[in-house]
Amino acid sequence: MARSGLPDGAAHGHGTAAPAGAAPLTPCPCLAHAATFFAAGSGRLEEFQEGVYRAFFERGEDIGCVDILAVLGREIGLDAGALRLALETRKFEAEVVADEDRAQSLGVRAVPAYVTHGQRVVTGVRNLAELMALLTSSE
């Protein structure tokens, strides 16, 4: 991902992160989304999602970068080369587009978004009590 003012090769943790005081990265999540399909097919979805979350929210890494996603995959036991190839060849593009289309059809317009019972959409940050009520509601 290109970003003005971020020097090539600036390293932090596993990859490129915003310098101190800079605006946070806003990567395109499409590659990370595609990588979750790869991880799910390898039985490592939950671990991969956790790694992506930590990389982005805790370390400020660019989760729209194939190199970073490959490292995250390798760290949880995925074949980094196969993951890289799947991302570079857009193996899961149809699945990503289908998920995006479904989200739009459900009315998802912001993140985070919670969909319950296949239809109810609630967006925005919620506290634990609100999330529990959402999950246990019978609507």
pLDDT higher than threshold 90 for residue 124: no
If asked whether residues 65 and 130 sit together in one domain, one would say no
Per the structure, the count of domains in the chain is 2
If asked whether residues 41 and 71 sit together in one domain, one would say yes
Quick check: helix, strand or coil at residue 91? coil
Identify whether 97 is part of a domain: yes
Position with higher pLDDT, 75 vs 4 = 75
| Residue pLDDT, tens place only, 63-73 | 999 999 999 99
Identify whether 1 is part of a domain: no
If asked whether residues 45 and 86 sit together in one domain, one would say yes
| Residue pLDDT, tens place only, 31-70 | 999 999 999 999 999 999 999 999 998 999 999 999 999 9
Beta carbons within 10 angstroms of residue 65's beta carbon:
21
Contacts with 8 (C-beta within 8 Å, 6 or more apart), sequence order: none
Identify whether 9 is part of a domain: no
Termini Cα distance of the chain: 41
Percentage of the chain with pLDDT > 90? 54
pLDDT band at 122 (very low <50, low <70, confident <90, very high): confident
If asked whether residues 38 and 87 sit together in one domain, one would say yes
If asked whether residues 112 and 90 sit together in one domain, one would say no
Alpha helices in 2-114 (DSSP H): 30-41, 45-53, 66-75, 80-88, 93-106
If asked whether residues 95 and 112 sit together in one domain, one would say no
If asked whether residues 73 and 91 sit together in one domain, one would say yes
pLDDT higher than threshold 50 for residue 14: no
Axis-axis angle for helices 66-75, 30-41 (nearest 10): 30
Domain extent, residue 134, equals: 107-139
- pLDDT of amino acid 131: 87
If asked whether residues 80 and 127 sit together in one domain, one would say no
If asked whether residues 63 and 114 sit together in one domain, one would say no
